[in-house]
Amino acid sequence: MPPRAPAAPTERELTDLEFGILSALVASHTGIALGSDKRALLQARLGRRLRALGLSTFMEYYRILKDQGADGPELVRFVNAVTTNKTEFFREAHHFDHLREHVAPALEAAAAEGAERVVRVWSAGCSSGEEPYSIAITLADALPSAEGWDVRILASDIDTDVLERARVGTYTLEEVAAVPRTALHRYFLRGVGDNDGLARVRPELRRRVAFRRINLLDDAWPIRTAFDVVFCRNVLIYFDRPTQTRVLERLLRFVKDDGLLVLGHAEGVHALVSGLRHAGNTMYRKESDPCRPPS
């Protein structure tokens, strides 16, 4: 009779102590504030890491994180596990309508007066890429490279797993269902054979987007430019108010004068920062720029 395989480690429930320690670690590395109602979510997501490492308690996992330190590979996996990545193409469509109907014409008018045909956009918290590719599609239609426009999009996230998927730019046909049919034909390649049921962003559009891991809580961001538009949608909702203010103040350093800040449907700037004027539903124009990013 063959020997019996060893039993898999039994995962126990997250204790009060473990939840307190691990949720504090989440907050310190990501800014995400987890209330007690998120205990089951944290247990489920970190439970996958316990199973992958053959551990039976969350305290064992915490010790691994502490032993490896801030530069350890498991901390990256920890951050990937606890972040939420809900996104879709052209989500909150009015933001892309505004980009096409107001931002692009304003840039064209400035170019007619002698301004450079250069556009820079930042998608902060880009997840698996649907948002920055939606931006790229909108601007490619409104400001074509054939007319001399140089459009570049920085797309950043803290989660390395979703960034890798975003760089590849491959999605199921269900995931691209919200893309207008004409844009789907123009900017995507439809898979055949083993790739049937998939669509991939065309290389010429992917080249407009640079993906980079950036933690908005880090003391310094590897950015040396200012942006015409910054999208930071459905990111602030995971932070407490002091962190929201700190992140918003830093984001605004990288928005050009009269540039646009775009937030998510449940977010706003009221009582958090000043120097902005309302430009539409969860969209704000920067009125002044006292602090330029370092050159």
Query: What does each C-alpha distance from 36 to 39, 40, 144, 152, 237 come to in angstroms?
Result: 6, 9, 49, 41, 16
Tell whether 135 and 267 lie within a shared domain: yes
Q: Is residue 291 part of a domain?
A: no
Q: Is residue 206 part of a domain?
A: yes
Task: Please tell me the predicted confidence (pLDDT) of residue 11.
Answer: 54
Can you give the residue range of the structural domain that contains 142? 93-286
Q: Is residue 191 part of a domain?
A: yes
Tell whether 126 and 266 lie within a shared domain: yes
What confidence tens digit (pLDDT) does each residue in 217-226 have?
Answer: 998 899 999 9
Tell whether 30 and 151 lie within a shared domain: no
Task: Please tell me the predicted confidence (pLDDT) of residue 12.
Answer: 74
Active-site residue (options: 77, 157, 208, 228): 157
The whole-angstrom separation of Cα 121 and Cα 235 is 17
Contact in structure between 210 and 279 (CB atoms under 8 Å): no
Reduce the DSSP state of residue 255 to 3 states and report it: strand
Tell whether 185 and 263 lie within a shared domain: yes
Tell whether 145 and 195 lie within a shared domain: yes
DSSP per position, 83-99: ------TTSSHHHHHHI
Active site residue 157: yes
- Which residue carries 């074509």 as its tokens? 144
> What residue spans of 103-176 are helical by DSSP H?
104-112, 130-142, 160-168
Tell whether 171 and 221 lie within a shared domain: yes
Tell whether 116 and 60 lie within a shared domain: no
Q: Is residue 8 part of a domain?
A: no
16-30 and 39-53 helices, crossing angle to 10°: 90
For the entire predicted model, the pTM comes to 0.89
Task: Please tell me the predicted confidence (pLDDT) of residue 3.
Answer: 52
Task: Please tell me the predicted confidence (pLDDT) of residue 5.
Answer: 47
Tell whether 189 and 253 lie within a shared domain: yes
Active site residue 206: no
Please identify every stretch of the chain with a pLDDT value under 70, giving residue numbers as ranges. Answer: 1-11, 288-295
Task: Please tell me the predicted confidence (pLDDT) of residue 289.
Answer: 52
Task: Please tell me the predicted confidence (pLDDT) of residue 242.
Answer: 92
Tell whether 155 and 35 lie within a shared domain: no
